């Protein structure tokens, strides 16, 4: 059962009104179109019938008149050829009239005109005319036979008597031109009277043969048949003339019937149009009344909708002093909209706050994405780029034009990545688990690249610069290795020192004894010298092992470096030049001055040895975050990465041919570590070396 609320809703009222109007308009249009179409068809048919009937009646009358006018000519015609030609022309005219009397293309004949009487008369005329043409052709053929016989007579020489032959030729010539059977019979009698005596006589000089008279006989026979055919033709023409008169009278009678039928049809059509006009007028009034009611209802609903939309727009603009719209109608939808307006007004402010929060979060995310130190790039399951920040382009090694590159082309600068792992246009790639790798550029920058598959098959590429972390890891590994070497060196030096102590103690006891000869005293001196050298070596090993005794003082490094200038210039030789870049106001550090000077001297000697052709040694002193930094720089032959990694190890040297012991940098490293600092070497083959020392303030 339909509820009352539905009957009072816009969803029912407005469609109902529109549907009702549409039904009325459609019905009205259907009635009008049907009536007008039918009237138009009838008028067109009547007009067509009228014009067709009049045209056909005119055509029939004209052709009947032609037939009637042709009849006297045919009756007086003497030429069978002319009779045949005129007869066939009449047949063509009759056939045209019969086709005109056939039904139209739609299968219906022209009403009131296709009379059976007219068709019957036309068929009779056609039959008689066709027979007339046949008789004329037969007469023409007989005439031709007579002419052929005359030709044979004219060229023949069967009759020897020229006078007799001339008389016979004159008779048959007159016979061939005769136009009545009476005249032809008279000529036949003369012919018989001329030829009979000749046939009966037995005298050879006047007798003629029957065969010689055959052409003359054919002339009379052909002419006789010709005159008989012409007599039949005249009788047929007479009958045709009578039928033509009947046809003329029938067409006149039929034209009057067609005119009466058309008049009756026009009156009927006029009455039908009048009835359609009355129906259209009544339906128009009904449509107009329904349209007025619908327009008033639509205007009321429209005012309510406009009031509601204005209130909602005011709320959307942020206005809070918006009153609920007023609506006096009973439409269910608008009543419910008014009830929902209050709830909407309460939620607008909350939605506005949420939108502002979301916009702020989106701006923050975009800003973070663009400015983050790590690079990130997203690719779809076919390897096409979705988005990426500038940092990932820099870390991979591209310029800004790489944003549109597919994934396999984008990672080309990273040879560590197998392209088969990554998706392409028609390949999903082999990557399943997260893959992490490191790439070291020619400039020494280390980039960590992470590739992972998203649930939809896309790829997330993360890249970050871990050059410093990689260096720290390498330094930590090197320090751990060096510390192990230093501990081992300290243990070895301690054991060696203990043994040398026993040797030197025992040697002192021996030296107090007397009674040694000179040879024994020389052996004791050699032992003493070897023990002293062993003690010195053990001391050096203690220095390498960061276990040597030091005497730290508060030292201003800049002053110490400047004071070493003369000694260092002498030590590096004439080919090399010494340069200083020492900042003012360096903080003091707690170091052993003597060991510091020895370390700087060792570094300068190594730098001079790396520049056999000469160059500049730059000693730089500056403030650092941890305290003070001192570096020694040369532009010599440099070191390989493998040599840099092992440079601080004891007994490692790149100058075996020059007799290097490999303890200089190890002693420097041990002194710096024992002083609480750190040391680092930066070098490239052919580009020089930088040794940097840090000391805490």
Cβ–Cβ under 8 Å, residues 683 and 560: no
pLDDT in tens, 438-477: 888 877 788 889 899 988 888 998 898 888 887 777 777 7
Phi, psi of 109 (to 5 degrees): -75, 160
Give the residue from 307, 311, 309, 302 showing the smallest Cα distance to 331: 302
What gap in Å lies between CA 647 and CA 364, rounded to an integer? 48
Q: Could you tell me which residues come within 8 angstroms of residue 9 by beta carbon, excluding any fewer than 6 positions away?
A: 331, 332, 333
Q: Where on the phi/psi map is residue 465: left (φ > 0), alpha (ψ -120 to 50), or beta?
A: beta
Instruction: Give the ranges where 591-658 is alpha helix by DSSP (H).
Output: 593-609, 641-646
3-state secondary structure of 161: coil
**How many residues in the chain?**
697
Q: In the chain, what is the straight-line distance between the N-terminal and C-terminal CA atoms, in Å?
A: 96
Q: Could you tell me which residues come within 8 angstroms of residue 602 by beta carbon, excluding any fewer than 6 positions away?
A: 664, 665, 667, 668
Mean pLDDT by 10 residues, the chain (697 residues): 64 71 75 72 66 59 56 55 71 72 50 63 77 78 80 71 78 80 83 74 60 78 82 76 74 70 72 78 80 76 74 69 68 72 71 79 74 84 88 82 84 87 86 86 83 89 86 73 66 70 80 81 82 68 57 89 89 90 91 88 90 92 89 92 80 60 74 86 90 91
Q: Where on the phi/psi map is residue 586: left (φ > 0), alpha (ψ -120 to 50), or beta?
A: beta
**The domain 368-466 is classified under which CATH number: 3.30.450.20, 3.40.50.1980, 3.40.225.10, 3.40.50.2000?**
3.30.450.20
Cβ–Cβ under 8 Å, residues 579 and 619: yes
What gap in Å lies between CA 541 and CA 365, rounded to an integer? 58
How would you label 321-348 residue by residue, b for 16+ Cβ within 10 Å and e otherwise? ebeebebeeebbbbbebbeebeeebeeb
What gap in Å lies between CA 17 and CA 19, rounded to an integer? 5
Q: Which two tokens stand for residue 629?
A: 């930094």
What gap in Å lies between CA 360 and CA 686, rounded to an integer? 54
Give the residue from 356, 354, 335, 343 showing the smallest Cα distance to 315: 343
Q: Which two tokens stand for residue 134?
A: 């046949």
pLDDT at 105: 47
Q: Could you tell me which residues come within 8 angstroms of residue 45 by beta carbon, excluding any fewer than 6 positions away?
A: none
What gap in Å lies between CA 402 and CA 461, rounded to an integer? 14
What gap in Å lies between CA 607 and CA 633, rounded to an integer? 7
Give the count of beta carbons closer than 10 Å to the beta carbon of residue 309: 12
Where in the chain are the domains?
329-363, 368-466, 549-696
**Helix, strand, coil distribution of the chain in percent, nearest 5:** 65, 10, 25
Pairing of strands 627-634, 615-623: antiparallel
What gap in Å lies between CA 117 and CA 253, rounded to an integer? 11
Q: Could you tell me which residues come within 8 angstroms of residue 161 by beta carbon, excluding any fewer than 6 positions away?
A: 206
**The domain 549-696 is classified under which CATH number: 3.90.1300.10, 3.40.50.2000, 3.30.565.10, 1.10.3210.10?**
3.30.565.10
pLDDT at 604: 92
What gap in Å lies between CA 565 and CA 558, rounded to an integer? 11
Give the residue from 373, 399, 378 showing the smallest Cα distance to 461: 378
3-state secondary structure of 114: coil
Q: Which two tokens stand for residue 338?
A: 């008014």
What gap in Å lies between CA 226 and CA 178, rounded to an integer? 10
Cβ–Cβ under 8 Å, residues 375 and 389: yes
Phi, psi of 634 (to 5 degrees): -130, 165
Q: Which secondary structure element, helix H or strand E, spans residue 85, and what is its range?
A: helix 80-100
Cβ–Cβ under 8 Å, residues 215 and 233: no
Cβ–Cβ under 8 Å, residues 57 and 258: yes
Q: Which secondary structure element, helix H or strand E, spans residue 588, and what is its range?
A: none
Phi, psi of 579 (to 5 degrees): -135, 145
Q: How far is CA 592 from the centre of its chain?
A: 80
Q: Where on the phi/psi map is residue 515: left (φ > 0), alpha (ψ -120 to 50), or beta?
A: left
Which residue carries 């052993």 as its tokens? 592
In sign, the C-alpha dihedral spanning 559, 565, 568, 572 is positive
Cβ–Cβ under 8 Å, residues 603 and 680: no
Give the residue from 684, 610, 692 showing the smallest Cα distance to 642: 684
Q: Any idea what the Cα angle at residue 193 is, between residues 191 and 196, rounded to 5°? A: 100
DSSP lists the bridge partners of residue 579 as 618
Cβ–Cβ under 8 Å, residues 489 and 650: yes
Strand extents, DSSP E, 607-677: 615-623, 627-634
Cβ–Cβ under 8 Å, residues 637 and 597: no
User: Which CA distances in Å does 535 have to 448, 497, 507, 618, 667?
Assistant: 50, 6, 14, 35, 16
Cβ–Cβ under 8 Å, residues 587 and 625: no
Pairing of strands 615-623, 576-582: parallel
Q: 208-216: long-range contacts (C-beta < 8 A, 24 or more apart)?
A: 208/158, 208/159, 208/164, 209/158, 211/158, 212/156, 212/158, 212/159, 215/149, 215/150, 215/152, 215/153, 215/156, 216/149, 216/153, 216/168, 216/171, 216/172, 216/191
């Amino acid at each position: 059962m339909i509820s009352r609320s539905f009957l009072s809703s816009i969803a029912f009222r407005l469609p109902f009104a529109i549907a009702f109007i549409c039904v009325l308009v459609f019905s009205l249009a259907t009635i009008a179109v049907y009536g007008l179409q039918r009237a138009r068809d009838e008028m067109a048919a009547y007009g067509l019938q009228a014009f067709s009937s009049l045209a056909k009646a005119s055509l029939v009358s004209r052709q009947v008149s032609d037939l009637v006018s042709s009849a006297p000519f045919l009756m007086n015609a003497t030429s069978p050829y002319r009779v045949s030609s005129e007869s066939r022309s009449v047949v063509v005219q009759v056939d045209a009239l019969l086709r005109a009397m056939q039904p139209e293309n739609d299968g219906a004949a022209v009403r009131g005109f296709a009379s059976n009487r007219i068709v019957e008369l036309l068929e009779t005329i056609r039959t008689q005319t066709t027979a007339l043409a046949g008789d004329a052709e037969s007469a023409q053929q007989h005439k031709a036979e007579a002419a052929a016989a005359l030709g044979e007579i004219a060229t023949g020489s069967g009759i020897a008597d020229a006078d007799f032959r001339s008389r016979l030729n004159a008779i048959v010539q007159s016979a061939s031109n005769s136009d009545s059977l009476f005249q032809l019979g008279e000529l036949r009698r003369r012919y018989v009277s001329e030829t009979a005596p000749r046939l009966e006589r037995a005298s050879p000089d006047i007798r003629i043969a029957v065969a010689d008279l055959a052409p003359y006989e054919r002339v009379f026979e052909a002419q006789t048949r010709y005159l008989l055919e012409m007599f039949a033709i005249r009788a047929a023409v007479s009958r045709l003339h009578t039928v033509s008169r009947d046809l003329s009278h029938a067409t006149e009678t039929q034209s009057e019937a067609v005119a009466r039928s058309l008049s009756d049809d026009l009156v009927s059509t006029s009455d039908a149009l009048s009835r359609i006009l009355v129906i259209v007028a009544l339906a128009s009034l009904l449509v107009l009344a329904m349209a007025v009611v619908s327009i008033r209802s639509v205007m009321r609903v429209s005012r309510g909708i406009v009031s509601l939309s204005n209130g909602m727009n005011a709320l959307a603009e942020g206005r809070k002093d918006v009153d609920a719209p007023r609506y006096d109608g009973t439409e269910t939808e608008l009543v419910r909209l008014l009830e929902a307006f209050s709830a909407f007004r309460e939620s607008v402010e909350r939605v506005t706050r949420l939108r502002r929060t979301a916009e702020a979060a989106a701006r923050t995310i975009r800003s973070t994405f663009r400015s983050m130190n790590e690079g990130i790039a997203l690719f779809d399951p076919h390897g096409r780029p979705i988005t990426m920040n500038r940092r990932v382009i820099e870390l991979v090694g591209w310029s800004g034009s790489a944003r549109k590159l597919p994934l396999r082309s984008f990672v080309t600068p990273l040879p560590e990545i197998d392209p088969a792992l990554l998706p392409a246009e028609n390949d999903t790639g082999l990557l399943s688990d997260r893959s992490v790798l490191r790439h070291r550029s020619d400039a020494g920058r280390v980039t960590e690249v992470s590739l992972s598959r998203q649930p939809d098959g896309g790829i997330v590429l993360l890249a970050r610069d871990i050059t410093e972390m990689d260096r720290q890891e390498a330094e930590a590994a090197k320090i751990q290795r060096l510390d192990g070497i230093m501990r081992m060196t300290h243990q070895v030096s301690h054991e060696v020192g203990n043994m040398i102590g026993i040797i030197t103690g025992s040697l002192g006891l021996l030296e107090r004894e007397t009674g040694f000869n000179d040879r024994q005293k020389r052996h004791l001196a050699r032992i003493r010298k070897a023990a002293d050298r062993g003690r010195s070596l053990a001391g050096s090993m203690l220095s390498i092992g960061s276990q040597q005794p030091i005497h730290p003082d508060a030292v201003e490094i800049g002053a110490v470096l400047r004071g070493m200038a003369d000694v260092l210039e002498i030590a590096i030789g004439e080919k090399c030049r010494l340069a200083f870049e020492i900042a003012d106001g360096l903080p003091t550090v707690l170091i052993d001055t003597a060991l510091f000077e020895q370390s700087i001297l060792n570094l300068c000697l190594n730098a001079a040895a790396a520049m056999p052709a000469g160059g500049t040694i730059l000693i730089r002193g500056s403030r650092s975050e941890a305290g003070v930094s001192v570096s020694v720089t040369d532009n010599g032959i440099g070191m390989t990465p493998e040599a840099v990694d092992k440079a601080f190890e004891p007994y490692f040297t790149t100058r075996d041919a020059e007799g290097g012991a490999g303890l200089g940098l190890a002693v420097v490293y041990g002194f710096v570590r024992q002083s609480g600092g750190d040391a680092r070497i930066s070098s490239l083959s052919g580009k020089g070396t930088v040794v940097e020392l840090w000391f805490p303030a």
